[in-house]
Amino acid sequence: MNLGRILHTVIRCGMDLLQMESGAVLLKDLTGTYVIRAAVRLPGPLEGATMPDGEGIVRRVVEEGRIVVLSEPPLFSEPRLQRLGYRRTCGAPIVLEGTVEGVLVLNTAEAGRGLNGWERDAMQLLCQQLAAALRNLRLFEDAEERAQRLERLNVSIDRIDKKLFEPELVESVVTGLIEDFRLT
């Protein structure tokens, strides 16, 4: 499974459905920082950039745990994004096991209105599907790791079996047993 491809697909679907110009997915890393893992039609190498604490769409979505639409500055806490002239940004939480593990952000230079009901539903559905994909990806990675550990264990067991049943060892054990039984 390719996480980058999954994320880019979700962003593009969101952009098409909501008629937005750009988008990104941020995922929480092990330190609790939200990192841009995929971006579409955003300038420069943003993937891998962390979102600084402060104002902006990501912070609001994480704090509120719901879809947020901003149309007044500051839209972003990332200075490079502030300069792009977007007039509206929408963010939705990606929730795994009751915790906001990521944020889907979609942007447009078009002014002002919020999202209507079906647009909110579409954005929420995209995030639910992405959460399911992330959960499946984690399960797949865990299963793959377990399979690799089992393979290493099998190799070790095979080596031990070969040592235990070497002809010299078997002969010495049998000879020892024969001698022990002759004595009794």
Number of C-beta neighbours around residue 40 at 10 A:
19
CA distance 128 to 126: 5
Asked whether 115 and 67 are in contact (CB, 8 A), the reply is yes
Q: Which of 138, 134, 135 is nearest to 146 (CA)?
A: 138
Asked whether 2 and 141 are in contact (CB, 8 A), the reply is no
List the chain pLDDT tens, one digit each, 184 residues: 688 999 999 999 999 999 999 999 999 999 988 999 999 998 777 777 777 665 688 999 999 999 999 888 777 877 777 778 788 899 999 999 999 999 999 999 888 778 889 999 999 999 999 999 999 988 998 999 999 988 988 888 888 777 776 777 777 777 877 877 776 5
Task: Estimate the crossing angle of helix 3-18 against helix 117-164, to 10 degrees.
Answer: 170
Q: Is the pTM of this model over 0.95?
A: no
